[in-house]
Structure 1
Amino acid sequence: MSKTFIKMSIRLTAIMVVWTACYADNPIVQTHYTADPAPLVYNDTVYLYTTHDEDELVNNFFTMNDWRCYSSTDMVNWTDHGSPLSYKDFSWASGDAWAGQCIYRNGKFYFYVPMKLKVGGKAIGVAVATDPAGPFKDPLGHPLVGNDGSWGDIDPTVFIDDDGQAYLYWGNPYLRYVKLNEDMISYSGDVVEVPLTTESFGVRSKDDRATQYEEGPWLYKRNDLYYMLFAAGPIPEHIAYSTAPSAVGPWTFRGVIMPTQPTSAFTNHPGVCEYKGNWYFFYHNAALPGGGGFNRSVCVEQFEYNEDGTIPTIKMTKKGAPQIGHLNPYDTVQAETICWASGVKTERCSEGGMNVCNIENGDYIKVKGVDFGKGAASFEARVASGSEGGAIEIRLGSPKGTLAGTCAVPGTGGWQTWKTVTCTVDGAAGVHDVFFVFTGESGLLMNFNWWKFHPVK
Structure 2
Amino acid sequence: YWSQGNIYGAKLKENMLELASEPKTLGELPAKGLKEGPFLFERKGVYYLTYPHVANKTERLEYATSTSPLGPFTVKGVIMDESPTGCWTNHHSLVQVKNQWYLFYHHNDLSPKFDKSRSVRIDSLSFAADGSINKVTPTLRGVGLTDAHQKIQLDRYSRISDAGATIAFLDTANKFSGWKTIFTKSNGWIQYNGVAFGKQKPKTLTVRGASVVGATVEIRLNNGTGPLVAKVAIPKGGTWQDIRVPVAAFEPGKHTLIAKATSEAMAEVDWIRFD
Shorter-chain TM-score tier: 0.5 to 0.7
**1:163 aligns to what?**
none
State the alpha-carbon separation in 1 of the partners of residues 200 and 226 from structure 2: 20
State the alpha-carbon separation in 1 of the partners of residues 133 and 48 from structure 2: 19
Contact kept, 8 Å, 2:189 with 2:260, in 1: the verdict is yes
Matched, 1:332 2:154: no
State the alpha-carbon separation in 2 of the partners of residues 228 and 391 from structure 1: 46
**1:175 aligns to what?**
6
The residue type equivalent to 1:435 in the other structure is: I
Q: What TM-score do you get using the length of structure 1 for normalisation?
A: 0.40
Q: 1:258 aligns with which of 77, 80, 88?
A: 77
> SS state of the match for residue 338, structure 1?
coil
Q: What TM-score do you get using the length of structure 2 for normalisation?
A: 0.63
**1:231 aligns to what?**
53
Give CA-to-partner distance per residue, 1:176-212, whole Å, 9 cap, x none.
Answer: 89xxxxxxxxxxxxxxxx98x6xx2317xxxxxxx54
> SS state of the match for residue 217, structure 1?
coil
* 1:32-47 → structure 2 map (5 Å cutoff): none
**1:410 aligns to what?**
235
Distance 1:319 1:380, change over 3 A: same
TM-superposed CA distance for 1:227, in Å, is: 4.2
Contact kept, 8 Å, 1:238 with 1:256, in 2: the verdict is no
Contact kept, 8 Å, 2:28 with 2:75, in 1: the verdict is no
**2:15 aligns to what?**
none
**1:162 aligns to what?**
none
State the alpha-carbon separation in 2 of the partners of residues 330 and 261 from structure 1: 33
> SS state of the match for residue 330, structure 1?
coil
**2:267 aligns to what?**
446
The residue type equivalent to 1:396 in the other structure is: L
Contact kept, 8 Å, 1:232 with 1:239, in 2: the verdict is no
Q: 1:369 aligns with which of 171, 189, 194?
A: 194
TM-superposed CA distance for 1:335, in Å, is: 2.8
Give CA-to-partner distance per residue, 1:345-389, whole Å, 9 cap, x none.
Answer: 222214932211253211111111322232121100111122x12
State the alpha-carbon separation in 2 of the partners of residues 394 and 260 from structure 1: 33
Matched, 1:315 2:134: yes
Matched, 1:220 2:39: yes
Matched, 1:379 2:213: no
TM-superposed CA distance for 1:395, in Å, is: 0.9
Distance 1:396 1:304, change over 3 A: closer
Contact kept, 8 Å, 2:209 with 2:241, in 1: the verdict is yes
Distance 1:251 1:305, change over 3 A: farther
Contact kept, 8 Å, 1:216 with 1:269, in 2: the verdict is no
The residue type equivalent to 1:400 in the other structure is: T
**1:356 aligns to what?**
181
Contact kept, 8 Å, 1:347 with 1:356, in 2: the verdict is yes
> SS state of the match for residue 215, structure 1?
coil
**1:44 aligns to what?**
none
Aligned-residue identity in percent: 18
State the alpha-carbon separation in 2 of the partners of residues 261 and 230 from structure 1: 9
TM-superposed CA distance for 1:390, in Å, is: 1.0
Count of aligned residue pairs for this structure pair: 227
Instruction: Kindly report the root-mean-square deviation, in angstroms, between the aligned alpha carbons of the 2 structures.
Output: 4.6
> SS state of the match for residue 380, structure 1?
strand
Distance 1:261 1:431, change over 3 A: closer
State the alpha-carbon separation in 2 of the partners of residues 365 and 435 from structure 1: 6
